[in-house]
């Protein structure tokens, strides 16, 4: 989530919270957010820091994410997405293995054909002399 500041062996994230005339402003690195109540500020901290969601979200969007956290559906959707990505990764690994084997078969055929062509070229040079 943005750049961090080194402090000894720890990396620290730069966060600034300001009280404004009509609410609160929070800056995380270069990203700025505005909230109109303390409750919404805390909700924003949970979503933007805890979940590392850097993009702008409406108040309703933040409330929806928090409700999904409370009822467990966010975790379920993350687990489903993770499982889907694992399946996709396994498929890509199989495809990579298959293509790699195919490449080496074709390369071996190429080398065999190259040897045959070189032999024919040597024979044709001998005949010309």
Decide: pTM greater than 0.85: no
Contact 65, 48 (CB under 8 A): no
pLDDT tens per residue across span 20-71: 999 999 988 888 889 999 998 888 888 888 787 777 778 888 888 888 888 9
pLDDT tens per residue across span 66-109: 888 889 898 898 899 999 999 999 999 999 999 999 999 999 99
| Structural domain boundaries in the chain | 4-71
Strands of the sheet containing 31-35, edge to edge, are 15-20, 23-28, 31-35
Structure confidence at residue 2 (pLDDT): 45
């Amino acid at each position: 989530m943005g750049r961090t500041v080194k402090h000894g062996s720890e990396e620290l994230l730069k966060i600034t919270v300001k009280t404004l005339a009509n609410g609160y402003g929070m800056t995380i690195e270069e990203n700025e957010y505005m909230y109109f109540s303390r409750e919404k500020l805390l909700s924003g901290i949970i979503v933007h820091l805890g979940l590392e969601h850097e993009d702008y979200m409406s108040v309703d969007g933040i409330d929806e994410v928090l409700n999904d956290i409370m009822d467990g559906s966010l975790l379920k959707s993350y687990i489903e997405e993770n499982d889907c990505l694992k399946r996709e990764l396994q498929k890509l690994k199989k495809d990579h293995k298959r293509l790699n084997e195919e490449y080496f078969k074709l390369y071996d055929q190429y080398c065999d054909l190259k040897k045959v062509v070189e032999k024919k070229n040597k024979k044709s040079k001998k005949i010309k002399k």
